[in-house]
Amino acid sequence: MQKQEFIQRMRQDLANDVKHNKTSVERIAASFGITDKNTVKEFTELAIVLEARRLSLRALPVYDRYMSIVELYNKQVTLSHRTSQSMLLQQYSTPAPIGFIAGVFCGMDKEGFYFEPSAGNGLLTIASEAHNFAVNEIDDVRRSNLKEQGFFKVYDQDATKPFPFIKSFDAIITNPPFGKVEPVKLNEFEFTVLDHVMCIRALDTMKDNGSAALIIGGHTAWDDKGRIQAGKNRNFFVYLHKYYNVVDCINIDGHKLYSRQGTAFNTRLILISGRKKVPGGFPPFYNPESDYTVYSFEELYNRVAKYIDRDLTDKNDFTSAFELEAEALALELELMNFKK
Ligand SMILES: C[S@@+](CC[C@H](N)C(=O)[O-])C[C@H]1O[C@@H](n2cnc3c(N)ncnc32)[C@H](O)[C@@H]1O
């Protein structure tokens, strides 16, 4: 099997705007002795990761690099092949432009010490030189693709379990698989959503003043009082706002921004800047000015770019009237329960 030759060919075709579909990619792969369709998909994604990192590391303004990665995404082949393993492990990777801008938010375009705990083929690491990253992945093919990229460490750990390096990294970035999990108790909270548990494990490895970008499934919905609807989601956001400075949570439309990665599932991008010195606080109330869904890469850029290279660790900037109102309502509810 001529893996490197195939990847080189796919990179060249991407750079030269050669359009492909699943059949044409599989035909080229077969000419290099690669016939397993899932392997073809994984190697094709590796070629995309390598091209995206090349574009991301050029000495150009963030916006120009972002738009060139959007262009790359728009010409990549749709990675639609699925297997029982890929569905079980929810191996739907992040579109490269989202990985890039989320990484820039985390400061990963500068030298540092970063972690991706369910790294797939590395699409969330593209804002950075690979040597700045430790990555983790349980799938063998994906881990072998990661090993070729020059990350300073490639781990093979179940990311639902605690990592041995607590508060170690300048930033973490993750798009864990979405699903259910047996109840896991973390501090005074209990979680049954896989992506919530894996995000919290990842956050535990972030330094107190670190940054994080988390991608989780679904969109936020609010009740008639403007609070996040009661249930698993509210539980997760109450945890996040209690322990971390949550800068933004962006609903991303799956059809418009994700479909070339083989899924149209809606997602949220959660941006975090540091751990709270004193735990406390609640998720803010619904705010029509910021709680809208983004339907294009341009909109996503505008939404994230305003935070780039700003010191966000002082949360006062972002403790909006909505968050103060949410605290007041929470207090009111607590008092009402107390009086019952
Ligand atoms: C949704 S994909 C995202 C991959 C990559 N983060 C990206 O955005 O392109 C989730 C990844 O997590 C891996 N995975 C699934 N369960 C895992 C676990 N328990 N521990 C570590 N990795 C896991 C899958 O193999 C898959 O590559």
Residue nearest to atom 15 of ligand 1 (CA): 89
Residue 77 has pLDDT above 90, yes or no: no
Query: Using alpha carbons only, how large is the chain's radius of gyration in Å?
Result: 20
Kindly report the average pLDDT of the chain as a whole number: 90
Whether residue 275 contacts residue 243, with contact meaning beta carbons closer than 8 Å, is answered with yes
Which of 108, 137, 75, 294 has its CA nearest to residue 213?
108
Whether residue 215 contacts residue 98, with contact meaning beta carbons closer than 8 Å, is answered with yes
- Kindly indicate the confidence band of residue 149, based on its pLDDT and cuts at 50, 70 and 90: very high
Q: What is the pLDDT of residue 216?
A: 95
11 CA distance to ligand 1 centroid (A)? 24
176 CA distance to ligand 1 centroid (A)? 5
Question: What are the extents of the domains in the chain?
Answer: 62-339
269 lines ligand 1 (CB under 6 A): no
> Distance between CA 172 and CA 84 in Å, rounded?
29
177 CA distance to ligand 1 centroid (A)? 6
Residue 170 has pLDDT above 90, yes or no: yes
Does the domain made of 62-339 have the CATH classification 3.65.10.10? no
- Kindly indicate the confidence band of residue 339, based on its pLDDT and cuts at 50, 70 and 90: very low
Tens-place pLDDT, residues 48-59:
999 999 999 999
- Kindly indicate the confidence band of residue 332, based on its pLDDT and cuts at 50, 70 and 90: low
> Distance between CA 257 and CA 285 in Å, rounded?
26
Sign of the torsion formed by the C-alpha atoms of 139, 144, 145 and 148: positive
> Distance between CA 92 and CA 300 in Å, rounded?
20
Residue 215 has pLDDT above 80, yes or no: yes
56 CA distance to ligand 1 centroid (A)? 22
Average pLDDT over residues 71-93: 74
123 lines ligand 1 (CB under 6 A): yes
Residue nearest to atom 23 of ligand 1 (CA): 118
239 lines ligand 1 (CB under 6 A): no
76 lines ligand 1 (CB under 6 A): no
283 CA distance to ligand 1 centroid (A)? 27
Residue 306 has pLDDT above 50, yes or no: yes
Tens-place pLDDT, residues 84-142:
665 665 667 899 999 999 999 999 999 999 999 999 999 999 999 999 999 999 999 99
Which of 154, 100, 143 has its CA nearest to residue 121?
143
> Distance between CA 340 and CA 337 in Å, rounded?
5
Q: What is the pLDDT of residue 340?
A: 42
Average pLDDT over residues 40-55: 96
